[in-house]
Amino acid sequence: MPFFEARDVNLHFDRYHALRDVSLSFEKSDVTVICGPSGSGKSTFIRAINRLAGPIGKGQILFKGQDVLMMPANELHRKIGMVFQRFNLFQHLTVLDNIALPQRRVLRRSREESNERAMKLLDRVGLANKASSFPVELSGGQQQRVAICRALAMEPELMLFDEPTSALDPEMVGEVLQVMRELARSGMTMIVVTHEMGFARELANEIVFLENGQLVEKAQPSDFFSQPKSERTRAFLDQILRH
Ligand SMILES: Nc1ncnc2c1ncn2[C@@H]1O[C@H](COP(=O)(O)OP(=O)(O)OP(=O)(O)O)[C@@H](O)[C@H]1O
Ligand SMILES: [Mg+2]
């Protein structure tokens, strides 16, 4: 049984057919990068995994053999963490509380244990000194690192990232990619929607190219970049690698 499997996933927004027979599977600790043009269904696909988009029509998404549509919501959201393009922190809470509060609410951890784990995570991303700051007092890159800590505090088994660096000023992209790099190297299973092809080349086990809701190509990075099978993948790569 694969760790994660999407089988012929279809999803409609009213009459619009946003995902068409998307199939994908991978194993624990794999890093899968999804790329493709705007509107191709990248966000829809990873949101469907967490039931933030949907419902899925024909097809199934299986996490460790379990249909995600059948999993209780709290279990699903605990096991599968998500980091968005916009950091989505709770603005009225300190950095520490952003990471600690969900642990108390969802995992019923004590205040002391939640705070201790939050501090460990902040230390890991180089932000221990910002624990008592509020989100508005942080840069975009710092906020995104806090958002990653908040997701990790649930001890997820799979992490989803939807263009985590594309809302950042260029000088802050590196610090967020560094945290993601370390996470990947620590063995975290990840699906990452990104156009950071350096990250993809270095860390992805597989790169997937979506277009018009269809999976056009999936390949290991070496093949994906050097000999894309489809003309559309080639055109897309030409366009983004030129920048
Ligand atoms: N809630 C919604 N209601 C109706 N249509 C939607 C909704 N969400 C997405 N769509 C449509 O589905 C298609 C895929 O959108 P999606 O956000 O998944 O694309 P994307 O690949 O993530 O694009 P981008 O690179 O711009 O983020 C688009 O045509 C979009 O307009
Ligand atoms: Mg998107």
- Predicted local confidence at residue 202, as pLDDT: 95
Contact status, residue 205 vs residue 220, Cβ threshold 8 Å: yes
Q: What is the pLDDT of residues 147-205, one digit of tens each?
A: 999 999 999 999 999 999 999 999 999 999 999 999 999 999 999 999 999 999 999 99
Label residue 38 left, alpha or beta by phi (over 0 means left) and psi (-120 to 50 means alpha): beta
Lowest mean per-residue pLDDT among 39-43, 209-213, 239-243: 239-243
Query: What percentage of the chain carries pLDDT values higher than 70?
Result: 100
Residue-averaged pLDDT of the chain: 95
Check if 54 has its Cβ closer than 6 Å to any atom of ligand 1.
no
Instruction: Look at ligand 1, atom 5, and give the residue with the nearest C-alpha.
Output: 13
Residue 28 CA to its chain's centroid (Å): 15
User: What six digits make up the tokens of 62?
Assistant: 């299986």
Whether pLDDT at 241 is above 70: yes
Closest by CA to 232, choosing from 218, 216, 221, 215, is 216
Q: Write down the CATH superfamily of domain 4-242.
A: P-loop containing nucleotide triphosphate hydrolases (3.40.50.300)
**Three-state SS sequence of 152-209:** HCCCCCEEEEECCCCCCCHHHHHHHHHHHHHHHHCCCEEEEECCCHHHHHHHCCEEEE
- Predicted local confidence at residue 156, as pLDDT: 98
Beta strands at 80-83 and 214-219: parallel, antiparallel or unpaired: unpaired
Q: Which amino acid is at 68?
A: V
CA distances 90 to 40, 100, 103, 146, Å, are: 30, 12, 14, 11
For the chain, the domains span 4-242
Whether pLDDT at 242 is above 90: no
Whether pLDDT at 23 is above 70: yes
Whether pLDDT at 83 is above 80: yes
What's the predicted TM-score (pTM) here? 0.96
Q: What is the pLDDT of residues 98-113, one digit of tens each?
A: 999 999 999 999 999 9
Query: What percentage of the chain carries pLDDT values higher than 90?
Result: 93
Instruction: Look at ligand 1, atom 1, and give the residue with the nearest C-alpha.
Output: 13
C-alpha span between 130 and 219 (Å, rounded) = 40
Q: What is the pLDDT of residues 126-146, one digit of tens each?
A: 999 999 999 999 999 999 999
Tell me phi and psi for residue 61, to 5 degrees. Answer: -120, 120
Whether pLDDT at 87 is above 90: no
CA–centroid distance, 208 to ligand 2, in Å, is 14
Whether pLDDT at 54 is above 90: no
- Predicted local confidence at residue 243, as pLDDT: 66
C-alpha span between 167 and 173 (Å, rounded) = 9
C-alpha span between 27 and 163 (Å, rounded) = 22
Contact status, residue 128 vs residue 122, Cβ threshold 8 Å: yes
Instruction: Look at ligand 1, atom 8, and give the residue with the nearest C-alpha.
Output: 44
CA–centroid distance, 242 to ligand 1, in Å, is 25
> Any alpha helices (H) in the chain, and if so which ranges?
42-49, 73-79, 95-107, 111-124, 140-152, 170-185, 197-203, 221-226, 231-242
